[in-house]
Amino acid sequence: MDGEALVAKGFHPTNGCQACISGMALQIGQRATLVPDHAGRVFGVVMDLSQAEVDRLYAEPSVAAYRPEAVMAEVTNGSRIAALCFNLPPSEEPVTPNPDYAGKLRAVATRLGLPPDYVRGIR
């Protein structure tokens, strides 16, 4: 998640820190989602939002299809924490690449200081 983008929309994220999730891969089509990949590892930021804020965030039409999925995230100090990750439900539809969206995600990932090798792989 991008804390700055959330604040700009009127949310109040707290306790943000970089984290990674093993066993998942980033899939980018019209939107981004995580998909199972036993050899994968994704990086991002975990943060706290109130339940009311989560409900409001995922009521927005552009992300209403996302569903919560429990994950274990490894934060930068090496500890593991339980988190909710909102992902799109599995689909049989082919994923159409979206280079513009991937470029925007690379820019955010760079600004957040995610690992450069990971950022370069965002396509």
Considering its fold, how many domains does the chain have in total?
Answer: 1
Helix ranges restricted to H, the chain: 3-8, 51-57, 99-111, 116-120
Q: Does the residue 113 lie in any domain? A: no
Question: Is this model's pTM higher than 0.95 or not?
Answer: no
Domain carrying residue 87 = 3-102
pLDDT digits (tens, 9 = 90+) for 16-61: 999 999 999 999 998 999 999 999 999 999 999 999 999 999 999 9
Chain-centre distance for alpha carbon 95: 18
Dist CA 60 CA 9 (whole Å): 11
Dist CA 38 CA 24 (whole Å): 7
What pLDDT was estimated at residue 50?
A: 96
Q: Does the residue 115 lie in any domain? A: no
Q: Does the residue 56 lie in any domain? A: yes
pLDDT digits (tens, 9 = 90+) for 85-113: 999 999 898 999 999 999 999 999 999 99
Q: Does the residue 123 lie in any domain? A: no
Dist CA 83 CA 74 (whole Å): 10
Please say whether the dihedral angle defined by the alpha carbons of residues 55, 75, 106 and 4, taken in this order, is positive or negative: positive
Q: Does the residue 31 lie in any domain? A: yes
Phi, psi for residue 95 in degrees, rounded to 5: -90, 125
63 within 8 A of 89, measured Cβ to Cβ: no
CATH, residue 91: 3.10.490.10
Q: Does the residue 68 lie in any domain? A: yes
